[in-house]
Structure 1
Amino acid sequence: MRNSPCFICAIVAGDPAHDLEEILYEDDRNLAFLARYPTLPGYVLVSPKAHVEHAVRDLDEDSYLDLMRVVRRVALAVEAVVPSERTYLLSLGSQQGNAHLHWHIAPLPPGTPYERQQYHALMGENGLIPWTRDQAADLAARIRSAL
């Protein structure tokens, strides 16, 4: 992601190369989609459609609150579909890679050993979930239904 064009802008533009990032929610300003490289079942990203890079400086208060309402709404739908003992919500990225502002919704499966929770559960280097187009479509349909 560090050396390629903005993947979120590509999804917003409808680039067919992003077929695993199933769109779950979309309105005039925001977008929610399945993560292409999930470390947990039901991992979702929520972002503004406009390319903004800073959660505090680049959004006015109304835009920020609107985005957070979408994050909450989508997280509740994910929890309705994917068993979870806690749902992590966080914004990651940097000017060096994944600069487009986005929030991670990551449901922690029940019974996950403590040493595999929190940041460990989010790090791709600790393992990704095997993921097919059909699995993504099925999960996306169930989350959309819950929305």
Structure 2
Amino acid sequence: MDLRAYHERSRVGPCFVCAYLAGHPGFAHETIHEDEHHVAFLDRWPTLPGKVLVAPKAHIEHAVRDLDAAAYTRLMLVVREVALAVEDVLDCERTYLYSLGSRQGNAHLHWHIAALPPGIPYEQQQFHALMTENGVLSRSAEEQAATAALLRAALAARGVLAPPP
């Protein structure tokens, strides 16, 4: 991962979620879940195994002001169910849920779901484990596809979210 290029693209390039949904080259991700309003997909540059992003399909930038209570609740249900599927697939000490981004870069509202593996020293947990500046995992397309298949199966087995349209 070229961190400098990533930062530049997140600030001046197209919205990464909108570009992914539109099928633009260079923005492909392994989809975990998709419904009428939401999408969940594997992070292309994960800092932890099986890291997933969940976003509304509509270009929304603020979780509090831009979503009414019903839309927020639906989004958080998707986040919860995907996080539980991640925990079903990966051994983890804790599952981190967080939303980052700003109007200056990665503006499209999205939630990160990151499973912290057991045994990670405390100094390498929390923010340290989440920052791309501390390194990203090298995952082949085949590894990403296999992880995505396991997560989709776990999500389907949970039976809470509707299958894709």
Give matches, 1:12-51, under 5 Å: 12-19=21-28, 21-51=29-59
Q: Which residue of 1 aligns with 2:90?
A: 82
Q: For the residues of structure 1 that align with 2:68 and 2:85, how far apart are their CA atoms?
A: 26
Structure 1 position 9, deviation (Å):
0.2
Aligned to 2:5: none
Distance 1:116 1:22 in 2: 27
1:136 to 140, 144, 151: 144
Aligned-partner SS, 1:2: helix
Deviations 1:107-143 (A, max 9, x none): 0010110000000000001010011111110000000
Flag as ranges the 4+ runs of structure 1 deviating above 2 A: 14-19
Which one of the candidate residues 20, 31, 37 is aligned to 1:11? 20
CA RMSD of aligned residues (A): 0.8
TM norm structure 1? 0.97
Per the normalisation by structure 2, the TM-score is 0.87
Query: How far apart are 1:12 and its partner, in Å?
Result: 1.4
The higher radius of gyration belongs to: 2
Query: Is 1:101 equivalent to 2:114 in the alignment?
Result: no
Aligned residues: 146
5+ long unaligned stretches in structure 2: 1-9, 156-165
Structure 1 gaps of 5+ residues are none
Percent identity among equivalent residues? 62
